[in-house]
Amino acid sequence: MITNKLKNYVLPCAIALFSFTSVHAQNKATAATEGKINQIIKKMTLAEKIAMLHGNALFSSEGVKRLGIPELTCDDGPLGVREEVLRFDWKSAKWTTDSATFFPNGSAIAATWNPALANKFGVAMGEEANARKKIVMLAPAFNICRMPLCGRTYEYYSEDPFLNAQLAIQSVKGIQSQHVAACVKHFAVNNQETQRNSINAVVDQRALREIYLPAFKASIQQGGAYTIMSAYNKVNGYWCSENDFLLNKILKQEWGFKGAVMSDWGGTHTSVNAAKAGLDIEMGSSGPYDEWYFANPLLAAVKAGKVSENVINDKVHRILWVMFHTSMSANHPAGKMNTPAHSKTVYDIASESIVLLKNEKHLLPLNTTSIKSIAVIGDNATHKFSLGGFGAGVKARYEVTALAGLKSRLGNSVDIQFAQGYKPDYQTTYTDQQKEDANKPNQALIDQAVATAKGTDAAILFVGSNRDYESEGQDRKSLILPFGEQQLINAVTAVNPNTIVVVIGGAPYDLNEIKKANHTIVFSWFNGSEGGNALADVLIGKVNPSGKLPFTFPASLGDSPAFALNTYPGENGTANYKEGILVGYRWFDTKKIDPLYCFGYGLSYTDFAYSGFSTNKKVYNKSEEITARLKLKNIGKYAGKETVQLYISKVNSAVLKPEKELKAFKKIWVEAGKEAVVSMALNVKDLAYYNDKTDKWVVEPGQYKIMAGSSSRDIRAVGSINVQ
């Protein structure tokens, strides 16, 4: 029993003393680091400083050997530490010690709606980066999913800036907990792969501030990201690698970024402009390195007085600051590769990422007492997803496929027969005609699959895409399921009514026909080394699916804003983001367009009832915090997790506002039949919109609707609050 004196006096003093000493200690450490950095810079020659500002090989930039400063080594990518490549060539270094853990892709992590798992991902990948002696991991990548065909949607997280930010913060914190620098990318407004090296994204200030920048701001101010990668494209007429507004004004001055900005590979365009606009390190693919913009030409520019040495010193300071937090930090962990804990992290993410889209026939979870034979059909049942996608490829130490996962769970009790069903005959280098031909059904394989499915109690189709079909450097041409899969689905479901369709991909697909036919649908992802085990455990009911879509699945491409306004891929090299802030569900809800599946959608094997929704107050001033609470009851027979989403909508706003905006969410486990209290908090200032006339964040006074939902379109409770 804590006496009142202890609780009201001693404890607060102890906490205050602890926090004062720890802040004081932190400040002392910062001052000490600053002192060391400034001492080092004083000893460096101009040539040594310049050498630090550009690549000296594919994945490194110079240190200062004579002063004990190591090279800055970096590596890809968002799905794991890529295999070692040659120092001066993208070819594999053919190591035997660089197999790594293949982590679930970005949109899979997003589909978990579980920032704690994003943190676990970061910790595990940081440990593997240390084991490979990488100081900077070129991850996480979280450009907003503005356009559903973007080839890198699978690497990114979401269409919503708030969900993006929560995942970015935690991924960065996880990676950097291991004294490895995260490199958040691609800064900024890099939302298509078509003409990615040249497109000029024209975006208004409000959309920039409310949609495209928040996750980057959060990853730096709340995640503490040590480095950031400037994107290939232009924003409002200026290359991202020399965009003074983005790099100096917003990133370094307004957000207080202390770390280093590195360019995307080959994404630097000048010496003087880029140096003055805030780029710190020029990275690229091939030498001669001394001829790069930030090498001899920059040295000459400094000597000619075009760039002051103070500008160079600031860049060196930033790079050394990153090093003192990483390779030159005290107690720098040695790291470890491919541990059971890493595999567990992959499994946990994968199993929470899988989205149950439709289960009206209750074919799931599989009834393994009555089902004695299963036809497993589709190349994606045996396909491996770790390699591909340029820098996002991983030489996985192992990868459990869907078929292997099912066999490991059911192999002794159920007769499993496999049929390939379709050939994923696709190469990024194919001509458009070859790509079109690749989407024709393979009748022989379909006939074989039908013959297999005719004779089994159930059939599970594994369709969707793969890491060649979704990749950096290209956008998809349509939402259709590739490789003639729809014809396969129609043929198999015609002969076996107990067919489950599992779509594996990293982005939205056209599932209209499958949905209309009322088939059972599961959406899974490029789900890492344990992907097949997690998928099997969801299908047999060992795991109750809890994934929710991190982006809208349009019913048709023309419904999505970039196509509705004909701004993709842009004209004469300019993509005009005419939809402004109405990205994703903000567009569909405000324009009252029904999507195929909405943002935040995902079913469970159980059901949840929402009740008792309330807020801590009815009227708030602008500096207060809003707490929303509700009771969540599991009214089904399976324990499971629900992600309660909190949306806000301004009543009679004086300016254009989306119909609703996500402002908080909470994922919570509830046993069958039990009830839990869910509490979510947000600040009134989080309701602000960006007034691009005054360049200020403004909280409109007046009435707001506050909504709790199981998805953006399944609102279960509505409240009203007033802001004075």
Residues that are catalytic: 264
Evaluate whether 249 touches 308 at the Cβ level (below 8 Å). no
Q: Which tokens sit at 693? A: 């006339």
Position 690: which residue type? Answer: Y
Q: Is 62 helix (H, G, I), strand (E, B) or coil?
A: coil
- Spatial separation of the C-alpha atoms in residues 354 and 538, rounded to whole Å: 8
Question: Which residue, 303, 304, 315, 236, is CA-closest to 274?
Answer: 315
Which member of 62, 98, 159, 264 binds ligand GLC (CB under 6 A)?
264
Q: Which is nearer to ligand GLC, 215 or 721 (CB)?
A: 215
Give the shortest CB-19-to-ligand GLC separation in angstroms.
38
* Region label for 589, one of left (φ > 0), alpha (ψ between -120 and 50) or beta (otherwise): alpha
- What's the alpha-carbon Rg for the chain, to the nearest Å? 26
Residue 125: phi and psi, rounded to 5, are: -70, -35
Of 285, 181, 272, 182, give the one whose Cα is nearest residue 232.
Answer: 285
First to last CA, the chain: 42
Of 106 and 115, the one with the shorter C-beta distance to ligand GLC is 106
- The C-alpha atoms of residue 611 and residue 629 are separated, in whole angstroms, by 9
Asked if the peptide bond before residue 333 counts as cis, ω within 30 degrees of 0, the response is no
Q: Which is nearer to ligand GLC, 75 or 485 (CB)?
A: 75
Least Å from the CB of residue 230 to ligand GLC: 10
**Closest to ligand GLC by CB, 101 or 190:** 190
Residue 187: CB minimum distance to ligand GLC, A: 11
User: Residue length, the chain?
Assistant: 724
**Which residue from 37, 85, 124, 138 is in contact with ligand GLC, where contact means CB under 6 A?**
138
Q: How far is the CB of 76 from ligand GLC (least distance, A)?
A: 5
Residue pair 607/636 in contact by the 8 Å Cβ criterion: yes
d(CA 443, CA 98): 41
E strand or H helix at 186: strand 181-187
Contacts 24+ apart (CB under 8 A), 432-437: 432/477, 435/477
Give the SS3 label for residue 345.
helix
Q: Which residue is nearest to ligand GLC (CB)?
A: 391
Tell the smallest beta-carbon distance from residue 521 to ligand GLC (Å).
31
- Map residues 77-106 to x or -, x wherever contact with ligand GLC holds by CB under 6 A: x-----------------------------
Q: Which is nearer to ligand GLC, 264 or 399 (CB)?
A: 264
Residue 366 lies near ligand GLC (rule: CB under 6 A): no
Helix (H) or strand (E) holding 34: helix 11-43
Q: Which of residues 301-340 bind ligand GLC (CB under 6 A)?
A: none
Nearer residue to ligand GLC within complex by CB, 106 or 547: 106
By beta-carbon proximity to ligand GLC, the closer residue of 103 and 265 is 265
CA-to-CA dists, residue 344 to 40, 103, 501, 611, angstroms: 42, 11, 26, 35
The CB-of-141 to ligand GLC minimum distance in angstroms stands at 6
Q: How far is the CB of 229 from ligand GLC (least distance, A)?
A: 7
Q: Whole-number minimum distance, CB 382 to ligand GLC, in Å?
A: 28
Contact of 527 with 350, CB cutoff 8 Å:
yes
What are the backbone dihedrals phi and psi of residue 315, each rounded to the nearest 5 degrees, phi first?
Answer: -65, -45
Asked whether 75 and 59 are in contact (CB, 8 A), the reply is: yes
For residue 391, state whether it binds ligand GLC (rule: CB under 6 A): yes
| E strand intervals along 457-508 | 458-464, 499-504
Report in angstroms how near the CB of residue 430 gets to ligand GLC at its nearest.
20
Return the number of the residue (190 or 442) whose C-beta is nearest ligand GLC: 190
Query: What is the nearest approach in angstroms of ligand GLC to the Cβ of residue 302?
Result: 27
Neighbours of 662 (CB within 10 A): 22
List the Cα angle 495/496/501 in 5-degree steps. Answer: 115
Contact assessment for residue 167 and residue 121, using Cβ atoms and an 8 Å cutoff: no
Instruction: Kindly determine how many residues on this chain lie close enough to bind ligand GLC according to the rule CB under 6 A.
Output: 9
DSSP class per residue in 579-612: TTT--THHHHHHTT---SB-TT--B-SS-EEEEE
Least CB distance to ligand GLC at residue 57 (A): 12
Q: Is 722 helix (H, G, I), strand (E, B) or coil?
A: strand
Kindly state the smallest distance separating residue 319's Cβ from ligand GLC, in Å.
18
Q: What strand order describes the sheet that includes 238-239?
A: 238-239, 234-235, 200-202, 574-576
CA distances from 292 to 90, 221, 271, 283, 561 (A): 18, 32, 9, 9, 39
Q: Can you tell me which residue has the tokens 């024709």?
A: 440
Binding mask 181-220 for ligand GLC (x = CB under 6 A): ----x-----------------------------------
Q: Closer to ligand GLC by CB, 194 or 683: give it.
A: 194
Between the CA atoms of 567, 569, 571 and 573, what dihedral angle is there, to the nearest 10 degrees? 130
In the bound complex, what is the minimum distance in angstroms from residue 266's beta carbon to ligand GLC? Answer: 7
Nearest 10 degrees: Cα torsion 444, 449, 454, 456 = 160
Q: Among residues 74 and 678, whose Cβ is nearest to ligand GLC?
A: 74
Instruction: Tell me if 265 contacts ligand GLC by CB under 6 A.
Output: yes
Please tell me the chain's helix, strand, coil percentages from 3-state DSSP, rounded to the nearest 5. Answer: 35, 20, 45
**Residue 77 or residue 335: which is nearer to ligand GLC going by CB?**
77
Find the binder of ligand GLC among 48, 71, 76, 282 (CB under 6 A): 76
> Closest CB to ligand GLC among 385 and 620?
385
Is-contact 256 245, C-beta < 8 A? no
- Give me the torsion for CA of 205, 209, 212, 215, rounded to 10°: 170
For ligand GLC, the closer of residues 156 and 523 by Cβ is 156
Contact flags string 462-501 toward ligand GLC, x per CB under 6 A: ----------x-----------------------------
For ligand GLC, the binding residues (CB under 6 A) are 76-77, 138, 185, 264-265, 390-391, 472
